[in-house]
Amino acid sequence: MVAPSNARAAPTSDRFSEYTRGVRASVKCRPWQRGVFRALVGASVFASLPGHGQILFGPGPSGPRPPAPLDPRIPRGSEAHAGTRPAEGGPPGCSFRYPVCVHPGSSRKAANALEWVTALEDAYERLVGALGLPPPRDDWGRGGSPALDLYLAPSGTALRVEPDDLEVGGGFDEASAFCVAAEDEVPVARAATLCVAEAIALRIDASETPFSRRALATELWWSTGAPTSADAAAIDDAQAEPERGIVARDLTHRAEGGALLLDYLDLARGRGAPSGVGLATYALSAGPASPVGLRYTNEPDTLDVLRATFGPTPSDVARLFGDFALARAFLGSRDAEGRWPSLAWVGDFGRVRFEWSVPWDSLPRTLAPAHPVEPTGSTYLWVAIAGDAHESLVFQADTEPPSPFRWVIVLVDRNGRAMRRIDVPFLERETHVERVVGDVSGASGVLIAGTNLGGIGPSYPFDPDFAPFEPHAYTVYLAKQ
């Protein structure tokens, strides 16, 4: 076969000898230089022996470097303080069926104490009797008897469930509890259920955050009680500010909305038992007893359990929270496919707030949120398509480091149903992602959901005990193609 005319000719032996002589000349060493070279080689061989540092000809690269230790001063749990019981205002009314008591206080409106006792009995029967949960811990007569005590307070007092002193000497963090509620609280059945449920949670794992404790109690009420206007308000608050974290440490008015995550886990990963996933997650997070100090050691926490159960890799965790963010977008009156039947009653109160809603013809555009997104919080964008577009959508997102975001894109038809889902590649160490959505024809709009996963990389995922949290913003570029 004849070589192509432009092929480089092989060097002849004479030309090759000239080439090698030139290389030797360029690297020829003088006698003293050769001595230094031999000394360096000898030192490298000696250093490669066992017990000495590796310089040359070593066994290969070392294993992955372990993450740097965290500062021991970083809080690893909520405050470990005991609540102060209100002053006694009269003899309590106690149940003859279950260990619950109501203290009327000094108010003149204490005539409804009997209604509270009945509500506590019903809650105790549903949670302990029907669901088989452990009863609240014996408080050793702190309220006059070993029963769970509820103290009625003046109008306007927010419901709170406080732990007594932490029990010392046990294998786990557990504490007895008491409740304080407004005398005119409506509805009484809901408040009584939250009281008993949180007291049970303090027995299961007192080191868990007050936020997650209230979220679990709310989920137990949704599973065993009837929805009320207070529940609609809790969901409305969560959906009106989706950028706020669905998991946190301290108790706020948004804690009851945190039950949305537990309810979704039951719906998507549960096996039919009421609040089964939430209860199992809470029970599995109970670790060894915390040392005596100002704060509990909440390790592992509920998120650690979720990561170990449903997400052995960062990508799995991202997929779980991306699925949850997408489910929130189709809650209530937007649930055209019946994806979330347990919360169908919430109606328009379940509609999530979109950060931006822009028409298709206005693209290209760069969008940014009015408020940054907290860890486990989500953000939503909507691109409305008026006609029948046959173009593609270019999506680019840039987020603030170091927290990664999970992005999901869905084409929605004119009946409010999801036509096609497009998962944006999750890159745990990257802050820039891109995706092209081909042929949006037939869609009435494009839904874009992003979730801040929090944390500072795979080595240190988001931990709700490390408060306050740092929210992060983003920019999204959308264009037609």
Enumerate domains of the chain plus CATH numbers: 80-206 (no CATH), 354-480 (2.60.120.380)
CA dist., res. 119 & res. 97, Å (int): 12
β-strand partners of 405:
452
Phi, psi of 405 (to 5 degrees): -110, 150
Report whether 149 contacts 103 (CB < 8 A): yes
Give the pLDDT of residue 321: 95
Give the pLDDT of residue 389: 81
Q: Does an H or E element contain 161, and which?
A: strand 160-163
Angle at 339 between CA 335 and CA 340, to 5 degrees: 85
Give the pLDDT of residue 298: 85
Give the pLDDT of residue 14: 43
The token pair at 30 is: 């003088």
CA dist., res. 410 & res. 437, Å (int): 9
By CB neighbour count within 10 A (0-12 exposed, 13-18 middle, 19+ buried), where does 119 fall?
buried
Give the pLDDT of residue 68: 61
Give the pLDDT of residue 395: 98
Give the pLDDT of residue 29: 42
Q: Does an H or E element contain 279, and which?
A: helix 276-284
By CB neighbour count within 10 A (0-12 exposed, 13-18 middle, 19+ buried), where does 182 fall?
middle
CA dist., res. 142 & res. 216, Å (int): 26
Upper half-sphere CA count for residue 236 (Cβ side, 13 Å): 11
Give the pLDDT of residue 37: 35
Residue pointed to by tokens 């593609």: 392
Amino acid at site 325: A
The token pair at 26 is: 């360029």
Phi, psi of 410 (to 5 degrees): -135, 135
List of the chain residues with pLDDT < 70: 1-75, 106-111, 166-170
Report whether 302 contacts 222 (CB < 8 A): no
Amino acid at site 43: A
Give the pLDDT of residue 74: 66
Give the pLDDT of residue 69: 66
Amino acid at site 118: T
103 in helix, strand or coil?
Answer: strand
